[in-house]
Amino acid sequence: MIRTCKLTLLCLSLLCFSAQAAAEPRVSQLTPVDLEFMQNQRLSIDELARSHFGQQINGDKANDLSIIQKLLDRGVIDAEQTLELQALGLVLGDLLAADLGMVWVIYEDKLGRSRALRMPKTDYYLFPVTMIARRVEADAPVDALAVYDKAYQLTLPHKPALPFQ
């Protein structure tokens, strides 16, 4: 009886271990196809900004967040345009990456494959591609600056300290 219990516990622990290992995400570098797709998304938002407002996406936080907000507020991009909404999230992510020192990666888990930002030397990830899209698709108001600020403040404590600090 005791031997059977030990064998059962061993089998259960192995099962739990293998389930845990299978549940862990796989993280990899962006492929050339990912890089091209992301660049095309950036260009699509830049083109919309140029044609509607005579402005361009330039990596400046105030400028780019203002453009995101105007594109949403003026109905240039609506809830049915998922790819464009995700492109807005990519622009938002580029700002976060620049300000926090994060890098774009591919994050794969049981839910699928996503483009994510990773804090180097940590297992901390952000998923900015969907931060705006999910809000718009849920018919929730979007304040681009507030979305940026919240993501920034939640991530900042996970930023590794520089040497000698």
- Distance of alpha carbon 61 from alpha carbon 41, whole angstroms: 18
Tokens matching residue 95: 């700002």
Distance, CA of 16 to chain centre: 29
Can you give the pTM of this predicted structure?
0.84
Q: How high is the pLDDT of residue 24?
A: 87
Q: How high is the pLDDT of residue 69?
A: 98
Q: How high is the pLDDT of residue 32?
A: 98
Tallying the residues shown for the chain, one arrives at 165
CB 158 within 8 Å of CB 122: yes
Q: How high is the pLDDT of residue 162?
A: 75
CB 107 within 8 Å of CB 122: no
Q: How high is the pLDDT of residue 135?
A: 97
Element (H, E) at 150: helix 144-155
Q: Per residue of the chain (165 residues), what is the pLDDT tens digit?
A: 555 434 333 333 333 333 444 578 999 999 999 999 999 999 999 999 999 999 999 999 999 999 999 999 999 999 999 999 999 999 999 999 999 999 999 999 999 999 999 999 899 999 999 999 999 999 999 999 999 999 999 999 999 887 775
Q: How high is the pLDDT of residue 19?
A: 42
Burial class (CB in 10 A: 0-12, 13-18, 19+), 147: buried
CB 63 within 8 Å of CB 55: yes
Rg (CA), the chain: 20
CB 117 within 8 Å of CB 93: yes
Q: How high is the pLDDT of residue 33?
A: 97
